Structure 1
Amino acid sequence: MSSPKRMRRAVASSLALLGAGALLVGCASGGTAPKADLGSGPAKAGTVKEGALQGSTVTFVSWGGVFQKGQMDAAGKPFAKASGATVLEDGPTEYAKVKAQVDNNAVTWDVVDTDIIWAQKQCGDKGLLMPIDKKIIDTSKVPDGLVGDCYVPAMQYGYVILYNAKKYPTAPTGWKDFFDTQKFPGKRAIAGFEDVGPGIYEGALLADGVAPDKLYPLDMDRAYKSIDGIRSSLIYWKTGAESQQMIESGEADMALVWSGRGYAAVKNGADYKPIWNQALQITEALGVPKNAKNPDAAFAFINYYLGKEQQEKLTELTSYSPVNTEAEPKLDALGKEYLTTAPEIAKQMVPTDAKWWAENYDSELERWTKWLQG
């Protein structure tokens, strides 16, 4: 199963775990759920029938801090007001807890924010997540390729190279320059925790001339050969906060980081620039655990979360990009530079393949762990 370390990369700026205000709900979702009347006609993202879930409880689980607060302010609280449901929150997401709840038929978490690779691994008969109910969830406004059999996207962001503008008067323009330590000498920061997923591997292949639409299945032998070639120039971050600090301190001349962390570093004054050319598109997922006591209410929550207004507000609060194609968040100039759904940025980015990573996660994690130790 995917490590919880993996999801820590998806959190915006300084995310602490939920503090004293968190609701540790125990068996809040237990018992027989009231019958929900969600109305007639096709589902429409961002809406719920007024009072439809009166007497129901939905427990939403995410990663805490700024990001989860944004999710609750943008979607959770207004959903509760509109639907009549009691919306509780818990966190951080722990995959072992999801498994224990499902295995013991004692599910208290109704909607869970997870890493998309983990979510992909949990689809199907042997997985831990229920199939998405398209009668309740309207995914028509979700960008192509982001909906799985048992999840929808929670948000999207970029895995992007930032470079020190003072160090490089001639700006690097992409992965080829990241791997060219002769023309662009200096330290490169990449993730160095014991977890795998889209990132330096795709970058190595793109630098070596592989076309974006021919990336998968990844030729990992070829990727490692390129990464080995710059190993002496690599430094490693283990948390999003550490990646941001490496930029703000100037320790990294180039850094492969989550776009939210890059945005936060530049907002704090770091003179660094992003390279959107062939930056990697990454998403998080929302899913409903099997054996959830009130799946209709959980799916209704997700449907509401995907609405245009909800997604606009979530982006404005967290800096991460919306998953509704009609969303037009109001951002300052810097925020617009990191909005990965902006047409001028989106057209440069490379989609990543969660299905391939889910199928190859275990073997690639073993290889990466050995490489880090070597």
Structure 2
Amino acid sequence: MKTLKLMMATATALAGLWGAAAPAQAQQLVVATFGGKSPEHMREHIFDAFTADTGIKVEQVIVPGKMLAGMQAQQETGNVQWDLTTSISASDFATMSARGYLADLPADIRTILEKDYAVVRPNGFANKRGALLIVCNKKAVDACPTTAAEFLDVDKFPGTRFMPSFQFLEALAFGAYASGVPADKVFPLDLDRAIAALEKLRPTIAQFYDNSTTARQLLSSGEVQMGLLWNGIPPQILGEGNVNVDLQVSWDGAVTYSQWTAVYNNGPNTETAWKFLKWLNTHPEAVAAYASAEGTDTANKAAFALQTEEIKEWSPVKDHGVPTLPVNTEWYMAAGDTKTKIDEFWKNYIN
């Protein structure tokens, strides 16, 4: 009973904390987003144009790595303050969907979205294709791993590592493949094997990052020598000529995933959120500009056609000549007791 009371008290405190950041108003949209440069890029390329066209103001709540915890607190206390997000990770989308935190798309909006997006679910759509791949600073180590198996070999390839704090399913998939599971056999996960691989890496992990700015600083400062990084960041680093970083990249065992857009259940401005999704899908140039500023491709077909060849070269859709691993969120959602074990493992792993 004491544990239950403590959990509810914590949820209430979290809901109050995040809710206070963005009070709901008429004709306003409250968007939960990652950190780094993403909020700036969204403002410049999408939200300012949406406001100019509609008069609807957009408030961004920056919660990198805390989107799931924040929404859980709000739903459990009945005090939902966010309307939508354009940046739910695959793992978080699966969890929120399973828990009923996401609103079903109206039929007319789903029909519109299905024309331009390949993956549309009843309560969200995959707006971006991403990959988590191996990077290594050649200036900081004697030798860089070129395969997932080498990355797992912490004795032959010593050095501090990093990975995202919230992409647990992607990390487990990578661990399974790095330990020797064939790419087409990674899912359903051999969870014990995947966990054993990640536990082998754990002593070398200097930090779990939740935004690209932190990841880049860790590489530049030398605090981290190698790790798993989002595919949109290496071309930016390579193009900057940072004297502290000579980046080597490997796509072997890169875990490919979708980033999702979804509207939250019981949000303060749900009808406004649907208006925004309609507007967004009629402005592919804005979508393309935002994605290109992020250094990534977009899953919007019309917008992808507007992007540069350089962006497309770093897309996970391109054949990079080595095995890559599509993350299977459907398996995770149906995993039952195994899902609970994964959740508990990851909570302990990153702390």
Please tell me whether residue 238 in structure 1 is matched to residue 208 in structure 2.
yes
Q: 1:329/1:283 Cα in 2 relative to 1: closer, same or farther (>3 Å)?
A: same
Indicate if the aligned counterparts of 1:322 and 1:341 stay in contact, CA closer than 8 A: no
* 1:277 counterpart residue number: 252
TM-score, normalised to structure 2, is 0.74
TM-score normalized by structure 1?
0.70
Residue by residue over 1:286-312, the C-alpha shift from the partner in whole angstroms, topping out at 9 and shown as x without a partner, is 221223455343123124334532221
What SS is found at the alignment partner of 1:213? helix
Q: Indicate the percent of aligned positions where both proteins have the same amino acid.
A: 19
Call closer, same or farther: CA 1:294–1:343 in 2, change over 3 Å.
Answer: same
Shift of 1:371: 5.3
Aligned to 2:102, what secondary structure does the other structure show?
Answer: coil
Which secondary structure state, in structure 1, belongs to the residue aligned with residue 153 of structure 2? Answer: coil
Equivalent position of 1:150 in the other structure: 123
CA distance in 1, matches of 2:201, 2:292: 37
Q: 1:111 aligns with which of 59, 66, 84?
A: 84
Indicate how the Cα distance of structure 1 residues 150 and 319 shifts in structure 2: closer, same or farther if over 3 A, else same: same
Q: Which blocks of at least 5 consecutive residues in structure 1 are unaligned?
A: 2-22, 30-55
Amino acid at match of 2:102: L
State the distance in 2 between where 1:275 and 1:242 align: 21
Match of 1:314 in 2: 290
2:315 aligns with 340
1-structure distance, mates of 2:201, 2:69: 36
Mapped to 1, the partners of 2:164 and 2:49 lie a distance apart of 39
CA contact (8 A) 1:159 1:279 kept: yes
Alignment of 1:220 with 2:202, yes or no, is no
User: 2: distance between equivalents of 1:346 and 1:322?
Assistant: 21
Q: What's 1:123 paired with?
A: 97
Gap regions ≥5 residues in structure 2: 1-6, 8-19
Equivalent residue of 2:29, what SS? strand
Partner of 1:133: 106
**Residue among 321, 344, 349 paired with 1:366:** 344
1:187 paired residue among 159, 162, 182? 159
Q: State the aligned residue count.
A: 318
Question: Cα RMSD between the aligned structures?
Answer: 3.6
Alpha-carbon offset, residue 316 of structure 1: 2.2
User: How do residues 1-374 of structure 1 correspond to structure 2 at under 5 angstroms?
Assistant: 25-29=22-26, 56-64=27-35, 66-82=37-53, 84-93=54-63, 94-95=67-68, 98-99=71-72, 102=75, 107-113=80-86, 114-123=88-97, 127-137=100-110, 138-140=112-114, 144=118, 146-165=119-138, 172-181=145-154, 184-191=156-163, 197-229=168-200, 234-239=204-209, 240=211, 241-266=213-238, 267=240, 269=242, 270-292=245-267, 294-306=269-281, 307-326=283-302, 327-328=304-305, 330=307, 339-341=314-316, 343-345=318-320, 349-358=324-333, 359=335, 360-370=338-348
| Residue matched to 1:16 | none
Partners of 2:135 and 2:248 within 8 A in 1 = yes
